[in-house]
């Protein structure tokens, strides 16, 4: 399998190379040169597979000959052992044709574990073979940092540095990162906001001369192809559980960077009969606006009760645009260069074709709380605020009440106690047993000024 850049001007890579790369050298994102397609018979034949076995069937065409079958099977089996539910991604019924796909049974209680538990293991596998060490560097406003740290803490060939804005992430989210005490894990609290953290990370990727000889930085945000790849699996898993491929399906996906829902789009192209994908956004509705009026435009950022969807630009949307523009890299390069400084009007035909599959809604905090309360009061099920936007958007956009609507539950409610409290329900969000003592655990992190030089010197001294 070969990977190409959405901006048409970077070298083709194989799976091993794309795993170790962030952005393409032309500023684009890597996508597979072609997608594997599965027949209905083939998909039906997977109905009784365990999660990690299904993952092998879906993922192996993307890996190609970079990992022998036996090794890939063993990596996948190991990856999903860290999940606390035997179904890995259990389905919960909310209504006659409405389902919740619980993607928060991993170690850090958010769906990002599905990809980052695998990413750490894949990186370690290749690095061992190459006898090489790499440095992971990332910025987080919450979920990504803890999932990345948890995915890499046991990796022998990785040092990981995660920057978070000092005093600006929730206590639960901070502690999920800072109570990991392995020697290869470094938490840096920056005296600044999330954008400051991200600016330092971006500048460090551009100039890596501060690293010791032979070392390189690796990105673990959702521009990394392997993260998208890992997320395709649970669409097939849910579909098979609910009668696909004989039955068509709809999914509603709480969306920020468009990574998770892009994986659903790929699942459809690979043969899963998905008829509708609902883009659920909060007040930060850049994607809802582009779907509605075909104009892709940044606006100011709002703080909401679903902070992991608080973004002003959705980087993975470029991967969809590439397909909508018939994979014309030059065209995407021009559009994205304009988008650096300006809004862009997208092609009407392209957007009309996108609307046959995608619909969208923007759900504000009041509606989010009211869905949390209603669901809890009616059936005793507690939604986290991100998943609640998914439920509401799924209901608003549903085109066919006779087909199952599967809402992706992207986080456990205990990660976002403020939203649960504001929903005024007669219950608290309880931590699962493996994290019940989180507030008593020892923490370790370093506070640094908002200064790339200081951060890079600190990193150099630890390596």
Ligand X SMILES: *Cc1c(COP(=O)(O)O)cnc(C)c1O
Q: Which amino acids are annotated catalytic?
A: 112
Q: Calculate Rg over the CA atoms of the chain.
A: 21
Q: For ligand X, which residue of 120, 165, 245, 259 counts as binding (CB under 6 A)?
A: 259
CA–CA separation, 240 vs 422, rounded Å? Answer: 36
Q: Does 256 bind ligand X (CB under 6 A)?
A: yes
Total residues contacting ligand X by CB under 6 A comes to: 16
CA–CA separation, 121 vs 118, rounded Å? Answer: 5
Provide the CA 453 distance to its chain's centre, in angstroms: 30
Closest-CA residue to 266 (of 4, 31, 24):
31
Closest-CA residue to 255 (of 227, 230, 278):
278
Beta carbon nearer to ligand X, 16 or 310: 310
Q: Does 257 bind ligand X (CB under 6 A)?
A: yes
Beta carbon nearer to ligand X, 127 or 280: 280
CA–CA separation, 267 vs 273, rounded Å? Answer: 9
3-state secondary structure 304-320: CCCHHHCCCCCCCHHHH
Q: Does 413 bind ligand X (CB under 6 A)?
A: no
Q: Does 56 bind ligand X (CB under 6 A)?
A: no
Q: Does 198 bind ligand X (CB under 6 A)?
A: no
Give me 128's structure tokens. Answer: 């061992």
By 3-state DSSP, what share of the chain in percent is helix, strand and coil, each rounded to 5? 45, 15, 40
Burial of 324 (0-12, 13-18, 19+ CB in 10 A): middle
Q: Does 255 bind ligand X (CB under 6 A)?
A: yes
Q: For ligand X, which residue of 100, 363, 411, 414 counts as binding (CB under 6 A)?
A: 411
Site string for ligand X, 140-179 (x = CB under 6 A): ---x------------------------------------
Give residues 99-118 in contact with ligand X (rule: CB under 6 A): 110, 112
Q: Does 138 bind ligand X (CB under 6 A)?
A: no
Beta carbon nearer to ligand X, 18 or 253: 253
Site string for ligand X, 299-338 (x = CB under 6 A): ---------xx-----------------------------
Q: Please report, as ranges, the residues that interact with ligand X according to CB under 6 A.
A: 110, 112, 143, 222, 254-260, 308-309, 386, 410-411
């Amino acid at each position: 399998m070969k990977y190409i850049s959405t901006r048409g001007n970077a070298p083709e890579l194989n799976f091993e190379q794309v795993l170790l790369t962030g952005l393409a050298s032309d500023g684009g994102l890597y996508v597979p040169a072609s997608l594997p397609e599965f027949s209905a018979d083939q998909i039906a034949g997977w109905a009784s597979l365990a999660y990690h076995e299904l993952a092998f069937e879906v993922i192996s065409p993307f890996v190609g000959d970079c990992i022998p079958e036996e090794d890939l099977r063993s990596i996948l089996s190991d990856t999903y052992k860290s999940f606390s539910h035997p179904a890995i991604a259990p389905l919960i019924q909310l209504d006659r044709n409405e389902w919740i796909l619980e993607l928060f049974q991993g170690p850090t209680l958010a769906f990002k574990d599905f990809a980052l538990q695998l990413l750490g293991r894949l990186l370690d596998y290749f690095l061992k073979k190459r006898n090489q060490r790499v440095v992971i560097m990332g910025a987080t406003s919450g979920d990504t940092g803890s999932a990345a740290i948890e995915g890499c803490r046991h990796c022998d060939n990785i040092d990981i540095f995660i920057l978070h804005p000092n005093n600006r992430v929730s206590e639960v989210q901070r502690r999920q990162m800072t109570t990991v005490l392995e020697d290869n894990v470094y938490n840096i609290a920056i005296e600044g906001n999330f954008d400051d953290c991200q600016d330092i990370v971006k500048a460090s990727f551009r100039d890596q001369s501060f690293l010791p000889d032979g070392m390189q930085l690796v990105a673990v945000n959702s521009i990394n192809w392997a993260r998208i790849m890992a997320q395709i699996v649970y669409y097939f898993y849910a579909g098979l559980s609910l009668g696909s491929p004989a039955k068509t399906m709809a999914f509603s996906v709480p969306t920020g960077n468009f990574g998770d829902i892009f994986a659903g789009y790929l699942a459809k192209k690979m043969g899963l009969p998905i008829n509708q994908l609902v883009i659920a956004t909060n007040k930060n509705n850049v994607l809802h606006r582009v779907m509605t009026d075909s104009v892709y435009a940044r606006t100011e950022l709002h703080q909401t009760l679903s902070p992991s969807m608080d973004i002003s630009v959705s980087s993975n949307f470029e991967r969809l645009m590439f397909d909508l523009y018939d994979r014309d890299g030059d065209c995407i390069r021009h559009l994205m260069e304009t988008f650096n400084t300006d809004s862009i009007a997208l092609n009407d035909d392209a957007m009309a074709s996108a609307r046959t599959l995608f619909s969208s809604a923007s759900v504000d905090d009041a509606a989010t709380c009211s869905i949390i309360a209603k669901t809890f009061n009616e059936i005793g099920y507690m939604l986290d605020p991100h998943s609640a936007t998914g439920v509401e958007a799924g209901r608003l956009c549903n085109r066919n009440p006779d087909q199952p609507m599967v809402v992706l539950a992207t986080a456990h409610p205990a990660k976002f106690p403020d939203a649960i409290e504001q929903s005024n329900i007669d219950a608290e969000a309880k931590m699962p047993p493996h994290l019940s003592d989180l507030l008593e655990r020892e923490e370790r992190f370093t506070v640094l000024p908002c200064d790339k030089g200081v951060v890079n010197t600190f990193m150099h001294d630890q390596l």
